[in-house]
Amino acid sequence: MAVIGPSARRIAERAAALARIGAVGEGVTRLGLTPEERRAHALVARWLAELGGRVRRDEAGNVFARVGGGGSPVLIGSHLDSVPEGGRYDGALGVVVAVEALEALRAAKVVLRRPVEVVGWADEEGVRFGLGLYGSSAAFGRLPAQAAERTDARGVSIREALRALGLRGDPARARIRKGSLRAYIEPHIEQGPRLARQGRALAVVTTIVGIAHGRVTVRGRQDHAGTTPMSERRDALAAAADLIAAIARAAAARRDAVATVGEIAVRPGAKNVVPGECAFSLDVRAPRERDVAAVLRAVRVAAAALDRERGVRTSLGRMDRVPVTALDRSLRGLLRRACAAAGVDAPELVSGAGHDAMNAQLDGVPAGMIFIRSRGGSHSPREAADPRDAARAAAALAEALRELCG
Ligand code: HGY
Ligand code: MN
Ligand code: MN
């Protein structure tokens, strides 16, 4: 069989070109449904058009390009948005690797019997509107009710943001017909230390953790910082601080569970005013559903105790949930064989990060993921990846496509 040889140099160049869109120092800020994300989609669309891809944008703002003939395609890709001041490889390197796999198949003159479609998902991070995995949720029919009405910090709704991008404003219209895809494969950096520690370039993902996202609001009583005795205060921020510490303890008490408070807002927010209200984000994850539920229960118990002790009122708002998602078993085997054909003995790992592959799998599309060794953590400008490892991932993906479509 023809040797498939992706180009690490072209991968490095294209990852750097994407990183220049929304660049902030060594990192990037490319939030969902923004002009920066749209520019990244346009750049990837140009690469795919040069490959002969038939490019289209759906009503949720995702970009697709299909190569090859008729039949149900294999969809490959990842997301092109980032967190604020995030890394340049989270999502973007997976899209570059997907394009490079097509480049390598074309160079090896592999004839595709089944079409391959590359996707750049919109707003996977959910930073701006608070709705994670947004683009793939729209495509796989998993948007929550009234998703288009979700607003950002300036009160702009998803509907308005889509219209500003020249779309009609109804992301539900992006729904891909159920059963129309043969498989979904997502290359993505690991975003953790395991592959680097094991000295391995690639891994195949077995399961993706369950995730609960929500907002907690603590309401106390706004008061004068100088004339209100400590014993008479209903300090919303002090109560929230106790609750946030209790949340961390609840997660630490359960194997492999994690909980994070990444955003917090205080009202009225003045140094000489006892805070009357405090709202903060909550992100709870675990590889077992019962542990996600157990942490959420512990949060509610801790909040009720604080309400009694501090005379505040705590509410846990709407929780967006994605269940623990086991990826397709046969695809896992195929991806391990493909990694071996690319010269990598890939271990299997559980993913602590959420991914668009969850929505594909939950919609009945056999989904698989190839992790690429990364260093420097993630969701940080320190995030780093070696283009040679990315080229190995592209070779593995090309081998997988040769088996699925060749
Ligand atoms: O939050 C996550 O796990 C992913 O990066 N969106
Ligand atoms: Mn991310
Ligand atoms: Mn990601």
Cα separations in angstroms, 9 against 15, 81, 90, 92? 10, 23, 19, 16
**Residue 92 token pair:** 């973007």
In angstroms, the CA 323 to CA 361 distance is 11
Atom 4 of ligand 1: nearest residue by CA position: 354
Distances (CA, A) of 399 to 48, 65, 104, 112, 249: 19, 20, 10, 12, 45
Distances (CA, A) of 114 to 72, 87, 100, 214: 7, 34, 18, 41
Q: With 80 as the cut, is the pLDDT of residue 243 above it?
A: yes
Task: Kindly indicate the confidence band of residue 39, based on its pLDDT and cuts at 50, 70 and 90.
Answer: very high
Residue 90 CA to ligand 2 center (angstroms) comes to: 6
Q: What number does the ligand 1 atom closest to the CA of 379 have?
A: 5
- Give the rounded distance of the alpha carbon of 203 from its chain centre: 18
Name the helix (H) or strand (E) containing 280: strand 277-286
For ligand 1, say whether the CB of 354 is within 6 Å of any of its atoms: yes
Q: How confident is the model at residue 253 (pLDDT cuts 50, 70, 90)?
A: very high
The proportion of the chain whose per-residue pLDDT surpasses 70, expressed as a percent, equals 99
Nearest-CA residue for ligand 1 atom 6 is 125
Mean pLDDT over 8-23 rounds to 98
Q: What is the pLDDT of residues 129-139, one digit of tens each?
A: 999 999 999 99
Residue 318 pLDDT = 86
Strands (DSSP E) along 195-353, which ranges? 202-208, 210-219, 223-224, 258-260, 264-267, 273-274, 277-286, 313-316, 320-322, 325-326, 348-351
- Six-digit token pair at 133? 């995995």
The DSSP symbol for 287 reads: S
From 320, 379, 380, 383, the mutation candidate for ligand 1 (largest count of ligand atoms within 8 A of CB) is 379
Would you say residue 2 has pLDDT above 60? no
Q: Is 80 exceeded by the pLDDT of residue 109?
A: yes
34 CB-side CA count, 13 A: 21
Q: What is the structure's pLDDT at 30?
A: 98
Q: Which fold has domain 8-208+325-405?
A: Aminopeptidase (3.40.630)
**Fold classified for 210-322:** Alpha-Beta Plaits (3.30.70)
Average pLDDT taken over every residue of the chain: 97
Residue 3's pLDDT band (cuts 50, 70, 90): low
Measured in Å, residue 180 CA sits from the centre of ligand 1 at 26
User: How far is it, in rounded angstroms, from Cα 139 to Cα 62?
Assistant: 9
Which atom of ligand 1 is the closest one to the Cα of 283?
A: 1
Q: What is the pLDDT of residues 185-236, one digit of tens each?
A: 999 999 999 999 999 999 999 999 999 999 999 999 999 999 999 999 999 9
Say if CB 194 and CB 270 are below 8 A apart.
no
Provide the pLDDT confidence category of residue 5 given band limits of 50, 70 and 90.
confident
- Per CATH, 8-208+325-405 and 210-322 having the same topology is answered no
Distance CA 288, CA 207 (A): 10
Which atom of ligand 1 lies closest to the CA of 378? 5
How many whole angstroms from 211 Cα to the centroid of ligand 2? 13
Q: For residue 1, is pLDDT > 70?
A: no
Token output for 395: 């070779």
Closest listed ligand to the CA of 189: 3
Checking if the pLDDT of 8 tops 70, the result is yes
Number of residues that make up the chain: 406
Are the beta carbons of 358 and 208 closer than 8 angstroms?
yes
Q: What's the 4 CA to ligand 1 centre distance in angstroms?
A: 31
**Structure token digits, residue 328:** 């397709």
The atom of ligand 1 lying closest to the CA of 353 is 3
In single-letter form, the type of residue at position 225 comes to A
CB 86 less than 6 A from any atom of ligand 1: no
CA of 315 to the centre of ligand 3 (A): 30
Write the pLDDT tens digit of every residue in 260-289: 999 999 999 999 999 999 999 999 999 999
* Interacting residues of 214 by C-beta distance below 8 A, sequence separation 6+: 281, 282, 316, 317, 318, 319, 320
pLDDT tens digits for 56-90? 999 999 999 999 978 999 999 999 999 999 999 99
Residue spans per domain, the chain: 8-208+325-405, 210-322
CA 127 to ligand 1 center in whole angstroms:
10
DSSP string across 74-110: EEEEEE----TTB-SSTTHHHHHHHHHHHHHHHHTTP
From the CA of 270, how far away is ligand 3's center (Å)? 36
Residue 42 — very low, low, confident or very high, per pLDDT cuts 50/70/90? very high
In angstroms, the first-to-last Cα distance of the chain is 11
- Give the burial class of 140: count Cβ atoms within 10 A of its Cβ; 0-12 exposed, 13-18 middle, 19 or more buried: buried
Distances in Å between the alpha carbon of 383 and those of 51, 120, 201, 322, 406?
29, 20, 16, 25, 34
Closest CA to 359 of 133, 92, 117: 133
Token pair 């910090």 is found at 153
**How is residue 123 written in tokens?**
């707003």
What are the tens digits of pLDDT across the range 285-299?
Answer: 999 999 999 999 999
